[in-house]
Chains A and B, each alone.
Chain A
């Protein structure tokens, strides 16, 4: 009985550490599923000195196998769909997805193009939607923070956060 209690406490502590690590340094993978580059440059701008998402621990990671969050921009094109699924499956659990920009949300201005097969959430589950054409870097950072808040049982992620 005592051994089980100790084991449970140990597991709880481990889960706490994992959550702490995950919410303090989310690594982000960016995949362009057919975007016009507008969202992509705003995503990069969010990581550069004016907005500097890296101060929150957000790091752009090039390999799906080391990423926690997949940020997708653009409508999903017929050619990019298989790659999208493959990249999503390569990511380790738990994995989260942010749909960035009007096109990833609803295909936007490309809604009736013949090679566009649908918005992102038709193919993979999406956790956070960031609208805009393109969304401002502030909106992108806000989207990431909303995602991190969802993960956290306690509502404090950032000091001074409005949670």
Chain B
């Protein structure tokens, strides 16, 4: 970034590399922005720094071992990954988990959604330069982590799901503390909603920035809160209800503005909805077993499982050949669907808005770094390890 734009009428173009280690990025990714003065006129994205090869590793582990591996696809939404996997495998085996297990799964999923949204709110505020909000929201997030710890013994990878049900029951004591936490969360969410709507300083960073119309959102295929902020009501909890969502109708939170502020508001309003779902669940918590009996072998077949992760639709394709290990598991995580929209929205914006635009989709690179090689007719290109490594690093030159 040594080129200085000269004082002539047309500023020079230059390229700014960002990443993989950069203050604006919490995770490794590599962006290259071409700017003319302060205006971005081109953007490229290079992923793969957190690619570990999980899809390959799952085929060398048993069905139960995979629970623990897939939970670690993403540390922020660990429950939802194992939930999608369990739903798929249970569908293959023809097992329905008991109602109490389904309710506990949804309860944890909603708690996780609140924790993920609070985490995002903090990181977004940090990128906007609003450190106080960052500290506030992360302080409140600890309340939910305490609940996880109380229920499962772990703060982050709580491993609640097992094939055929859940591992941990809720005691009366835990229900009381969940309700108490939900009350606190509602109070805090009201405060954040007011702040995001009315704070003039934050408003300058988020109002009217990165506006995406409903038509654009459809075209770019964005999912989750990013889509809902543009008025596209995609929510799998409503469209294809799973677990206890079949009994509890979820209200989709929609905003129509499509700018960054709408994305803030949608996520905070979803916290209210999560609180409501948790209250309804705990009022009608079914009694009974926690686990259904799973067959010793998962029958041959293939299936898909779709769940609504905090960031949007999470998709699992699971194929079994009747052995004790899966034949193929394919993941599709929401971040990759949303990242394309960031590159499109960047064009024509000021460089200073880019971190906020990126964070507006709530990216999670550890989820989305997957390798795909497409074999077209006649093109059977194979990569060596060295080529594969260089793919990630050739920008170093």
Residues of chain A having any CB pair with chain B under 8 Å = 31-42, 44-45, 48-50, 62-64, 74-75, 77-83, 86-87, 108-110, 112-116, 133-134, 136
Among B74, B122, B389, B396, the most chain A Cβ lie within 10 Å of the Cβ of B389
Which residues from chain B contact A36 at a C-beta distance below 8 Å? 72-75, 78, 366
The reply to whether B75 and A79 form a contact with Cβ atoms under 8 Å apart is no
The reply to whether B156 and A78 form a contact with Cβ atoms under 8 Å apart is no
A50-B139, A115-B52 known; 5 new pairs, CB 8 Å cut-off, are A32-B50, A34-B51, A38-B76, A38-B156, A83-B49
| CA distance in complex: A34, B47 (Å) | 11
| CA distance in complex: A29, B365 (Å) | 19
The reply to whether B139 and A48 form a contact with Cβ atoms under 8 Å apart is yes
Q: Out of A37, A45, A62, A113, name the residue touching B364 (CB < 8 Å).
A: A37
Task: From known contacts A37-B74, A112-B60, infer whether A79 and B138 are also in contact, taking CB-CB under 8 Å.
Answer: no
The reply to whether A109 and B69 form a contact with Cβ atoms under 8 Å apart is yes
| CA distance in complex: A126, B56 (Å) | 29
| CA distance in complex: A34, B366 (Å) | 7
The reply to whether B72 and A109 form a contact with Cβ atoms under 8 Å apart is yes
Task: From known contacts A48-B135, A63-B23, A80-B28, infer whether A34 and B74 are also in contact, taking CB-CB under 8 Å.
Answer: no
The reply to whether A79 and B78 form a contact with Cβ atoms under 8 Å apart is no
Determine the residue in chain A with the shortest Cβ distance to B46: A79
Q: Would you call B246 an interface residue if the criterion is a C-beta within 8 Å of the partner chain's C-beta atoms? A: no
Shortest CB-to-CB span from A123 to chain B, Å, is: 14
Which residues from chain B contact A48 at a C-beta distance below 8 Å? 122, 134-135, 138-139, 142
The reply to whether A79 and B76 form a contact with Cβ atoms under 8 Å apart is no
The 21 sampled A-B contact pairs (Cβ below 8 Å) are A34-B51, A34-B366, A35-B366, A37-B27, A37-B366, A38-B157, A41-B156, A45-B138, A48-B134, A48-B138, A50-B142, A77-B50, A79-B393, A80-B49, A80-B392, A83-B49, A83-B393, A110-B54, A113-B52, A115-B51, A115-B388
Which residues from chain B contact A49 at a C-beta distance below 8 Å? 135, 138-139
Q: Out of A38, A62, A79, name the residue touching B49 (CB < 8 Å).
A: A79
Determine the residue in chain B with the shortest Cβ distance to A50: B142
| CA distance in complex: A144, B290 (Å) | 41
Q: Which 4 A-B pairs have the closest CB atoms?
A: A38-B75, A79-B392, A62-B23, A48-B138
Q: How many residues on the B side are at the interface (Cβ–Cβ under 8 A)?
A: 47
Task: From known contacts A48-B135, A49-B139, A80-B28, infer whether A38 and B52 are also in contact, taking CB-CB under 8 Å.
Answer: no
Within 8 A of A (CB), among B70-97: 72-76, 78
| CA distance in complex: A17, B272 (Å) | 52
| CA distance in complex: A110, B73 (Å) | 10
Shortest CB-to-CB span from B309 to chain A, Å, is: 13
| CA distance in complex: A82, B334 (Å) | 28
The reply to whether A77 and B49 form a contact with Cβ atoms under 8 Å apart is yes
The reply to whether B393 and A82 form a contact with Cβ atoms under 8 Å apart is yes
Which residues from chain B contact A45 at a C-beta distance below 8 Å? 138, 141-142, 145
The reply to whether A34 and B139 form a contact with Cβ atoms under 8 Å apart is no
The reply to whether B366 and A110 form a contact with Cβ atoms under 8 Å apart is no
The reply to whether A113 and B54 form a contact with Cβ atoms under 8 Å apart is yes
Within 8 A of A (CB), among B40-67: 48-54, 56-57, 60
Q: Would you call B218 an interface residue if the criterion is a C-beta within 8 Å of the partner chain's C-beta atoms? A: no
Task: From known contacts A62-B23, A113-B52, infer whether A78 and B385 are also in contact, taking CB-CB under 8 Å.
Answer: yes
The reply to whether A41 and B76 form a contact with Cβ atoms under 8 Å apart is yes
Task: From known contacts A48-B135, A83-B393, infer whether A37 and B75 are also in contact, taking CB-CB under 8 Å.
Answer: yes
| CA distance in complex: A35, B367 (Å) | 10
Q: Would you call B155 an interface residue if the criterion is a C-beta within 8 Å of the partner chain's C-beta atoms? A: yes
Shortest CB-to-CB span from A124 to chain B, Å, is: 14
Task: From known contacts A49-B138, A114-B53, A133-B157, infer whether A83 and B74 are also in contact, taking CB-CB under 8 Å.
Answer: no
Determine the residue in chain A with the shortest Cβ distance to B385: A78
| CA distance in complex: A49, B389 (Å) | 39
| CA distance in complex: A119, B366 (Å) | 17
Q: Would you call B12 an interface residue if the criterion is a C-beta within 8 Å of the partner chain's C-beta atoms? A: no
